[in-house]
Structure 1
Amino acid sequence: MNKNIPTHHTKHYRFYDLIMAAFVCILLCSNLIGAAKQTYITLPVIGTLTVGAGVLFFPISYFFGDILTEVYGYARDRRVVWAGFVALLFASIMAFIVVHLPAAHNEFMATFQGQLEGVFDNAWRIAVASVIAYWCGSFSNSIVLAKMKVATNGKWLWMRTIGSTAVGELIDSLLFYGMAFYGIWATHDLVQIALLEYGLKTLWEILATPLTYWLVNKLKKAEHEDFYDRDTEFTPFSLDV
């Protein structure tokens, strides 16, 4: 063995891969299953409001993004963002191909093809909007949180998670709804849903704060890690850690 060859040791984390898998799963499901459906909620005083069904689940991806950056640092969260990007891109390509393959000539497909087109034929536009909005929003969220952690010397986790989510979700919501549904939904509904969902997603982060504290503390102890991005290069175009 040549002793002059340096040996590089990559730290192994017990839960990092599991969190990455959960993040990608939530991202795909919330964008491909819930994004296109409009539902409604009834609030005291305000009344009934129209929202996108994805609002119930998509904020969980930002919840995991905050945890990844807080515990493992920006660079490892960056790898997760790119994993989600590739998964969402593949899902959109697969949806396009499956919808446009010639349907078999039978009674079942005579009905099912129309249903498949109704659900997934706009998937390409939703996916493009999702990829761009998610990419911009997620990286903004991660960068803001990482820089705030250094600036506050790790204090006030609640302020950092809520503040970074408010920035990331604003960018995400404006880009996604504008690109995915402009010209499809009525402009009034589009603006109302985009602004309402931004508020609900930020509220979701506020309500999840106790869970964030609990999970972050558990992971820091289990992984023996509490990363500070003091010397990090914040370019999104890298997979280095």
Structure 2
Amino acid sequence: MSRSPSPGYSSSFLLIVALFVTCLIVSNVAAVKLIMVGGLVLPAAVLIFPVSYIIGDVLTEVYGLDAARRVIWLGFLCNILAVAAFALALALPAAPFWHDQAAFEAILGATPRLLLASFAAYLAGEFVNAYVLAWLKGLTGGRLLWVRTIGSTLVGQFLDSAVFMTVAFAGVLPAEALVGAAVTQWLVKSGFEALATPLTYLVVGYLNRTEGRAGGRTGRVPA
């Protein structure tokens, strides 16, 4: 998958970008449903959103911090487009024979406060995750990939969970419940990353070989 479909961008890079954006948008829709996992109440997005952090780690590790930053902004813009499309669909009058407007609104009609919380948490978490991973890569001399991926995720997911819960539910939930929910989400998402470490190693190793990057050094990904 190293053949470039367009100048400077490999098919592997484009596939990773597409997966990143898809995970982000799907997780925002799935988050509406609350699920029970081992006695814990969590948003269903916990099943897919951590994948965006794994992909972000791969982007930073293989293609560099600049490429990761551009993809994070691209994901943000695509998410805004999705939200705008949902808002327009909600505002348009329903056909007389269609009686599912209430269900449609319940799933896709997020409140402005929740949207703000989601956007702020995404930007804070993803950018810090990328920066910490790049910093740790320099600190470790490119060794100990598992330390870099898990360490950056612990910091990034902590910010993501803390920002989202604070912006979305401060003044709504008691402080104890808010902190408890944020910590639970942080630990679950970070645990997901730790369990996926072998897969991260496989993907990074594959991309380093097929993209012609020795030792994880990044090649050119045009601005």
TM-score bracket for this pair, using the shorter chain length: 0.7 to 0.9
Cα pair distance change 1:181/1:117, threshold 3 Å: farther
Separation in 1 of the partners of 2:125 and 2:222? 20
Matched with 1:104 is 95
Cα pair distance change 1:139/1:96, threshold 3 Å: same
Deviation at 1:91, TM superposition (A): 1.1
Matched with 1:40 is 36
Deviation at 1:126, TM superposition (A): 3.3
- TM-score with structure 1 setting the length: 0.81
Deviation at 1:189, TM superposition (A): 5.0
- 1:227 is aligned to 2:222: no
Q: SS state of the match for residue 37, structure 2?
A: strand
Deviation at 1:18, TM superposition (A): 0.6
Separation in 2 of the partners of 1:83 and 1:164? 21
In structure 1, give the amino acid aligned to 2:11. Answer: R
In structure 1, give the amino acid aligned to 2:151. Answer: G
From 86, 92, 98, the counterpart of 2:83: 92
**Structure showing greater Rg:** 1
Equivalence map 1:15-164=2 (5 Å): 15-32=12-29, 34-42=30-38, 48-106=39-97, 108-109=98-99, 112-122=100-110, 124-164=112-152
Separation in 1 of the partners of 2:177 and 2:205? 40
Equivalence map 1:162-201=2 (5 Å): 162-182=150-170, 189-201=177-189
Separation in 2 of the partners of 1:121 and 1:85? 18
- 1:214 is aligned to 2:171: no
Contact 1:145–1:161 under 8 Å retained in 2:
yes
In structure 2, give the amino acid aligned to 1:166. Answer: L
Cα pair distance change 1:189/1:140, threshold 3 Å: same
Deviation at 1:123, TM superposition (A): 5.4
Deviation at 1:99, TM superposition (A): 1.3
Separation in 2 of the partners of 1:180 and 1:216? 35
In structure 1, give the amino acid aligned to 2:136. Answer: M
The unaligned stretches of length 5 or more in structure 1 are: 1-9, 43-47, 230-238
Q: SS state of the match for residue 51, structure 1?
A: strand
Q: SS state of the match for residue 61, structure 1?
A: helix
In structure 2, give the amino acid aligned to 1:13. Answer: S
The unaligned stretches of length 5 or more in structure 2 are: 1-6
Deviation at 1:117, TM superposition (A): 1.3
Separation in 1 of the partners of 2:197 and 2:185? 18
Deviation at 1:35, TM superposition (A): 1.3
Q: SS state of the match for residue 129, structure 1?
A: helix
Deviation at 1:240, TM superposition (A): 7.0
Cα pair distance change 1:37/1:185, threshold 3 Å: farther
Contact 2:58–2:204 under 8 Å retained in 1:
yes
In structure 2, give the amino acid aligned to 1:40. Answer: M
Cα pair distance change 1:216/1:195, threshold 3 Å: same
Separation in 2 of the partners of 1:74 and 1:29? 24
Q: Percent identity?
A: 39
Contact 1:31–1:126 under 8 Å retained in 2:
no
Q: SS state of the match for residue 137, structure 1?
A: helix
Contact 2:8–2:222 under 8 Å retained in 1:
no
Separation in 2 of the partners of 1:191 and 1:68? 31
In structure 1, give the amino acid aligned to 2:14. Answer: D
